Structure 1
Amino acid sequence: MAVEFQRIQLGWWLEGNCTAKYCSDHATCTNITSPVDNGGSGFRCRCNQGYVGDGFSAGVGCRKASSKCNPSKYMAGHCGGSTRVGALIGGIIAGAFLMTGLTLLCYVIRKKSSSLKSRKSARHMLAEAAGSCSIPFYSYKEIERATSCFSERHRIGTGAYGTVYAGKLHNDEWVAIKKIRHREADGIEQVMNEIKLLSSVSHPNLVRLLGCCIERDEQILVYEFMPNGTLSQHLQKERGTGLSWTIRLNIATETAQAIAHLHSADNPIYHRDIKSSNILLDYDFKSKVADFGLSRLGLTEFSHISTAPQGTPGYLDPQYHQNFHLSDKSDVYSFGVVLVEIISALKVVDFSRHHSEVNLAALAVEKIGKGCVDEIMDPSLEPHTDAWTLSSVHKVAELAFRCLAFHRDMRPSMIEVAAELECIRLSSWGPTEENECLGSSFASEKSQGLAGRKVGIDSRRLVLSLRSNSMVPLEEVTDSSPISVYDPWTSEQSSPSGNSLLDNAIH
C-alpha cells in the first residue's frame, strides 16, 4: 500500500482573452485553457518579481513587496533563494572544526613556548649552579626513551627522595637516572644544590654527575652507572653472597677518603646523609659516595645552624638532632654507624631486636665499650681463622666507637678517620708499613696543627694555636675522658678518644 501526496496551488482566473485593462500595473497577463468550460479560453494576471498581490486591476492589484524578512522566512527561502538550513548546519560544523583546530594550534604553540621558557630558565639556573662547569642538559623525551617510559624493569632502587632507573643514552652506555619525587617547593632547590656541589668537587670516590633534565615539572639527574648496587644491599645479602673483610675495609677506607675530601675543600661540604645505601659500588667493588641533595656548604669554621634536622633515622648525629648545629662531626657520627654496619652486617634500625638494641649505634657503643666486639661481629667474616682479620676488625670497631661519641668534640675528624683506616688497611702488608703509616699520620696532624689530640695517658690535652704553623701551647686543660674504655667514666654520654681499646678487647 502506497500513499502519495501532491501539492495544489489555488489562483484566480477569468474567461476570455488577455486584456491589459483587466491586469493592474506591474502585472503580467497569461492566457490559459479553462478547465471547466470545455476547453474555453481564459486568462490570469500575476504580479511581477518584487511585487505582491492578486494582479487584477479590479482586485488588490500589485504593490511593492516589503523588504522585511524574518528568520523563519529566511530559513525557508521566502526572502529569495533556496532553503538555508543545510547551509547553516554545514557552516556550524565547519566552524566547530575550525575552532577545534585553532584551539589545538594555540595549545601546541603555548606548550612549546612554555617548554622553551622552562628550558631557558633551567639552563639559566644550571649555569648559576654549575658555574664554569658544563652540565649536559637532556630533554624529557630522551630520558623517557632511555628508561622505556620509566618502566618497572628499568627500576633499580627507590629512596626517600626519588626513584633510580637504569638506562642508555646516546653513547649506548648504561647510566643511572634519578627521578626526584614530587615534594614541596624546595625540590628544585635540592636538585640545584646537588648539581652545584657535584660540579664543585672531583674525587675518584665521589659519584660523577653526567647530566640533568628539568622539564614538565620534573627534576631528573643522570649519574654514572654503578653495577654492583649499594653497600647496604651486599651487607644485607640482598645482592650477592656477602663481602669479604678485605673488600669491606677497602670500601670503608675509600668512603672515608671521599668524605674527608669534601670536608677539606676550600668551602667545606657537609654531606648530611652518609649511610650504607648512599655508598655505591662499581664493577671492582670500588666505592663512590652519592646523593648530595641534603649536603650543605660549611661557609664558616663554626657549626652551621639548620632550621630542622634532616637525614636518615639511625644515622643522625644526636647533638645535631637536639640543637640543629651541623658540623663536619655530624658526618663523622654517621660514618661511625656505617663502620658498625660493615663490622656487623646488622640493620641500623631493627624493631625485631630487643627494645634496648633497636638502634645499632647504641648497641655498638654498649658492646664495644664492654670489649664484646665478637658479639656484634658478622659471623661470615670468620675472624678467628686469620689473626690480621681479627686484629683489624677490632681496630675498626674502636675507631667506630670514637666516631659515635655523643659530644662532637670527642669525635675524630674525617681526615683522621681516613688516615687510620688507611693504616689498618696497610697493616695487612706487615708491621713495618703500619708503623710508618702511623708515624706519617702523626706528623701530618702536627703539621696541620690539629687541636684536641690526645698526647698521653695522663688525660691532659694540649690546645694549640690554629693561626700559626708552630706548635705553641696556649693552655693545658684537664680532660675527664679516659683513654681506655675500661677506665672510669665521668659521663655516660661520651665515649673514649684513645687508642687502647684493641689491646684491652683481645687480651
Structure 2
Amino acid sequence: MTKVVKKAEKSWKPMTANCCSVEDSIILGINFRNKSHTSDLMSKNIAPLPSFRRLAYSGHLSNLSSCSSQRINEDLAQSFGPDLIDFQLSELKAITQNFSRSFLLGEGGFGKVHKGYVDDNFKSGLKAQAVAVKHLDIEGLQGHKEWLSEVIFLGQLKHQNLVRLIGYCCEEEERLLVYEFMPRGSLENHLFKRLSSSLPWGSRLKIAIGAAKGLAFLHGAETPIIYRDFKTSNILLDSDFTAKLSDFGLAKMGPEGSNTHVTTRVMGTYGYAAPEYVSTGHLTTKSDVYSFGVVLLELLTGRRSMEKSRPKGEQHLVDWTRPYLSSSRKLRYIMDPRLGGQYSVKGTKEIAQLALRCMSLNPKDRPKMPLVVQALEGLQTYKDMAIASGLWPPPNSKKSRVNGVSIKGRSYYKPSPITPSRKT
C-alpha cells in the first residue's frame, strides 16, 4: 500500500465573487491539519484530515450569463493558484482530437468523458501523461453548480483513494474538467458490462478497501463531507486496481455543531440511496455507509443494485439478498457465478455480515467507515477458498434461478479447479 505523504498547505485565499454558489453557499477554505484520533487506523492509513469553514455568498445562479467566465476563472485562479491548471477549450480540443468518438471513454448524466494525451511541452508544470476530459452537457444551471462543486472539492481534497483533479476549463457556457486517467475504468464496467474477464476475489476485496478508505477520509473531516452518490460507476480503478472515488458533483457538507443531519433535496441514484434519506431528505454520513453496503452486495453477487429485467422478487438487490446474508450455507446461493467458486468462504461470510450492518434500517446502527476499513483489511489474511462453482438452488426448491441461471433438481455442483488468483 502506498504510504500517504503529508504535505504542507499554503494559506487559503477565498473567492470574492458573488456568482459562484453551490446551493445556498460555497464550501471553501480547507486548511489541512492533523486531527487526533484514538484509532490507529485513522493515523496509519488515512491522510491528514481537512477542517472546513463555510464562506457564505450572496446572490444565486439565476442567470449564468450574469457571471462571466472570465470572473469565474479569476476567482478560481486566486483560490487555487498553480494547484489547478486553467485550460483553454482549444487546448482540450487538441489533445482529444476535437472530442473524437475514438477517444470517448464514457458518457453519463454530466456529459461525455474523452481520453487525451499531453506531452512535456503542453503546459508548464504538467508532465507528459494521459488524462480524462469530462465535458459538461450543460442544461440549465444545475450542471454549472455540479461542475463548480467538483472543482472546489477535488481542487482541495488530496488522498490516494480520490481521483486527482488536474484542472478545469470555463469559457462562456463551456464547462470541462481534466482528471488523471484511470486505465482500468470503472468498477461498474468490470462487474456488469462484461468488457473484461471477471474480477478475481482478491481484486474485489482490494477495491472494497480502497473505496472504504476514500469515504473514511471524507467523513473524517472536522466538518464531514457526505459523498451522496456512492456507486460502482463512481469508483474508478488505476492500473493495479487501486480504487479512487470520482464525481463530486453531488457532494455535500455534513451537519455542524449540534445538528444531527443536513436537510436537502433527495439526489443520487435509486437502489443505492439510504431509505431514511429518500423518505425525509435527512442526509448524514450514515447515508454513504448504506450505499457502501449496497456496493458490497454487488461485489459479492455480480448483480446491479436495481435490475428491472429480473424476476419480480429479484429486481431490488437489497431485498433479494437480505434473507441469504445471515447464513454462510445460504450465502453461496447468491455468489457471483463468474468467480467460479474461487473466493474465501470465511471472507464472504464476514463481508455479508458487514453489508447487513451497513444497510441497517436504523442509521445509528451502521458502523463508521474507519471501522469498515479495519474489518475489510482483516480479511486479507484469509486463505481458504471455495472449490465449487457457487451455483446451488435455494433450499426446498425443485427449480430455481440463481444469478440468472436456471437450475433443476435438488443440487448443482460443478467442480472448478483452483488457479492462483491475480496478484493484487
Task: Give the TM-score normalised by structure 2.
Answer: 0.69
CA distance in 2, matches of 1:426, 1:319: 36
Q: Is the 8 A contact 1:273 1:294 kept in 2?
A: yes
CA deviations 1:53-105 (Å, max 9, x no partner) are xxxxxxxxxxxxxxxxxxxxxxxxxxxxxxxxxxxxxxxxxxxxxxxxxxxxx
Q: Cα offset for 1:401? A: 1.2
Secondary structure of the equivalent of 1:190?
helix
**What is the RMSD of the two structures over their aligned residues, measured on CA atoms?**
2.1
CA distance, structure 1, for counterparts of residue 236 and residue 96 of structure 2 = 20
**Higher-Rg member (1/2):** 1
Pairing 1:150–2:99 present: yes
Structure-to-structure mapping, 1:168-317, within 5 angstroms: 168-169=117-118, 170=122, 171-300=127-256, 302-317=259-274
**Structure 1 match to 2:57:** none
Q: Secondary structure at the match of 2:250?
A: coil
Partner in structure 2 of residue 417 of structure 1:
372
Scaled by the length of structure 1, the TM-score of the pair is 0.58
Equivalences for 1:452-471 in 2 at 5 Å?
Answer: none
- Asked if 1:401 corresponds to 2:359, the answer is no
Distance 2:143 2:193 in 1: 32
Q: Which moved more, 1:267-276 or 1:191-200?
A: 191-200
TM superposition shift of 1:251 = 0.5
Specify the SS of the correspondent of 2:86: coil
Structure 1 CA distance for aligned equivalents of residues 351 and 368 of structure 2: 15
Deviations 1:280-320 (A, max 9, x none): 11111111111110001114153443332000111111110
Structure-2 change in CA distance of 1:351 and 1:337 (3 Å): same
- Considering Cα pairs closer than 8 Å and 6+ residues apart, tell me whether 1 or 2 has the greater RCO: 2
Q: Which SS does the other structure have where 1:143 is aligned? A: helix
Task: Please list every run of 5 or more consecutive structure 2 residues that lacks an aligned counterpart in the other structure.
Answer: 1-64, 385-424
Tell me the equivalent position of 2:394. Answer: none
Change (3 A) 1:307 1:237: closer
Aligned 8 A contact 2:87 2:169 in 1: yes
The answer for unaligned runs of 5 or more in structure 1 is 1-114, 430-507
Q: Secondary structure at the match of 1:335?
A: helix
- Could you tell me how far 1:356 is from its partner in structure 2? 2.4
Equivalent pairs, count: 310
Q: Is the 8 A contact 1:193 1:295 kept in 2?
A: yes
Name the SS of the counterpart of 1:375 in structure 2: helix
Between the aligned partners of 1:186 and 1:350, the Cα distance in structure 2 is 28
Letter paired with 1:126: L
CA displacement at 1:245 relative to structure 2: 0.2
Pick the aligned partner of 1:380 from 326, 331, 338.
338
Alignment of 1:50-129 (within 5 A): 118-127=68-77
Bigger drift between 254-263 and 196-205 goes to 196-205
| 2:184 and 2:236 in contact (8 A); partners too | yes
SS of alignment partner, residue 157 of structure 1: strand
Q: Given residue 287 of structure 1, which amino acid in structure 2 is its aligned partner?
A: A
Deviation track 1:309-338 (CA, whole Å, cap 9, x = no partner) reads: 000111111110000000000100111111
Check the 8 A contact 1:365/1:404 in 2, yes or no: no
Question: In structure 2, what is the equivalent of residue 135 of structure 1?
Answer: 84
Residues 1:303 and 1:181: Cα distance change in structure 2 (over 3 Å)? farther
One-letter code of the match for 2:156?
Answer: S
Q: CA deviation at 1:190?
A: 1.6
Distance 1:133-1:272 versus aligned 2 partners, 3 A rule: farther
The answer to whether the 8 A contact 1:125-1:192 is kept is no
